Amino acid sequence: MAHTKRNKSAWLPDKHNSPKAKDFRPRDKSANSTVEDLVKEQVNPLVDSAGLYLEQVKVGRTGGRTRVKVVVDLPWGPGGVDSDRLTELSRAISHVLDDADIVQGSYTLEVSTPGVERPLTEPRHFSRAQGRLLSLRLSDGEALTARLKEVKGATLIVRTVEEERLIDMSRVVSARVIVELSKANEFDEA
């Protein structure tokens, strides 16, 4: 969704030059904050009120335009965020960002979920992948494919082809969800 913001004439002269200088700079909204931090401050209450978790905010340039990307997810456990919920949240974020005038000029706002390509690095990520087939690499070099049955504290309960195993998350070097076209396979109990 593209947005064009109105000019609020929030310009001040550069402090090192006279007020008649042609070199003007935008007013500093917060001395110690980046644009991403300011966007997070504005967006986080909206995400919380929608019952979601703010995964990431990125502000950058794409094709000569500013892009604001907001990534949200469910706070814990399996399930998904439906498109209607994302649409409502996107509209609310758009209004708040336009009113706060944080992003200079026009920008494109993208509100999405992380998708299956996200590396699993936090307990919350693993909780979201319960029931999914995972590719895991452990600290001892072992690589395995297993279905994530449950997350209990810092322990993953997984089912390999041969057995059910308990794996401490501190041993996981990398983990990703394997996209399946059909769930019925040798990793499921008979």
Interatomic CA distance for residues 110 and 1, integer angstroms: 7
Spans of all domains in the chain: 2-112, 123-177
Burial 82-92 (b: 16+ CB within 10 A, else e): eeebbeebbeb
Handedness of CA 33, 38, 39, 40 (dihedral sign): positive
- What mean pLDDT do residues 160-188 have? 86
pLDDT-derived band of residue 9, with 50, 70 and 90 as boundaries? very low
pTM of the prediction?
0.70
Q: For residue range 115-156, list pLDDT tens digits in order.
A: 888 899 999 999 999 999 999 999 999 999 999 999 999 999
Topology (CATH level 3) of domain 123-177: SH3 type barrels. (2.30.30)
Between these two residues, 188 and 173, which has the higher pLDDT value? 173
Q: For residue range 79-120, list pLDDT tens digits in order.
A: 889 999 999 999 999 999 999 888 888 899 999 999 888 899
Does residue 3 surpass a pLDDT of 80? no
Q: For residue range 52-84, list pLDDT tens digits in order.
A: 999 999 998 888 889 999 999 999 888 889 999
- The identity of residue 156, as a single letter, is L
Q: For residue range 11-55, list pLDDT tens digits in order.
A: 233 333 333 323 323 334 443 358 999 999 999 999 999 999 999
Topology (CATH level 3) of domain 2-112: GMP Synthetase; Chain A, domain 3 (3.30.300)
